[in-house]
Amino acid sequence: MPETILLEAEEKMEHTLSILHRDFSTVRSGRANPKMLERVHVSYYGVDTPLNQVASIAVPEGNQIYIKPYDKTLVSEIEKAIFGANLGVTPSNDGIGVRIVLPPMTEENRRKSVKIIHKMGEDSKVAIRNIRRDAITQYKKMEKDSAITEDDLTYYQDEIQKLTDKFVEKIDEYFKEKEKDIMHI
């Protein structure tokens, strides 16, 4: 049973890390990346639908994204959705699809993006620490119920702390990689 708590905590921490990785990919880093449109939803027959489910998204050049809807009547809806997502880009409608030309990132934009990913990283660290706290609470309850000994409690607390340290270190590595990518000119 105590091993199960440790495994569940590790699984939750892995999940937190994968969410952070996905969130980092939505932050603009200077090059065109279709993942920056993952948060964009289009009203498709009255239902909010992710953009990538109603259109193909391509990167014809390093600073452009081209969105071609499967249903041509959605072109104006896609344009509105991109404006509404506050991505800091201006879409242009060519009748067949929507083209987004990404302006070069200024030093100020780069610093704002770094602040955004820093906050995402800190939020993920808080989530990891909350998982640690919950696991330790479960271990303390088991010790109180005499399911494990005091020595076992100390051992499992050390193990969960090692796991927490490992994942916090991974978050820091992800942050440094993304920061390097954003600040690279």
Q: Where in the chain is the domain with CATH 3.30.1360.40?
A: 34-101
For position 89, what pLDDT does the model report?
Answer: 80
Q: Which of 12-26, 95-109, 116-130, 170-184 shows the lowest mean pLDDT across its residues?
A: 95-109
Average the pLDDT over 121-147 and give the result.
Answer: 95
Average the pLDDT over 33-61 and give the result.
Answer: 87
- The pTM score is 0.77
Average the pLDDT over 119-126 and give the result.
Answer: 96
Average the pLDDT over 24-35 and give the result.
Answer: 79
For position 31, what pLDDT does the model report?
Answer: 76
For position 181, what pLDDT does the model report?
Answer: 85
Closest of 47, 3, 11 to residue 167, by C-alpha: 11
CATH number of 2-26+106-183: 1.10.132.20
Beta strands 64-69 and 55-58, pairing class: antiparallel
Share of the chain above pLDDT 90, in %: 51
Average the pLDDT over 3-29 and give the result.
Answer: 90
For position 44, what pLDDT does the model report?
Answer: 86
For position 61, what pLDDT does the model report?
Answer: 82
pLDDT at 62 over 70: yes
Cα–Cα dist 44/64, whole Å:
24
Average the pLDDT over 119-124 and give the result.
Answer: 95
CATH class of 34-101: alpha beta
For position 185, what pLDDT does the model report?
Answer: 63
Q: Where in the chain is the domain with CATH 1.10.132.20?
A: 2-26+106-183
Read off the pLDDT band of 168 (50, 70, 90).
very high
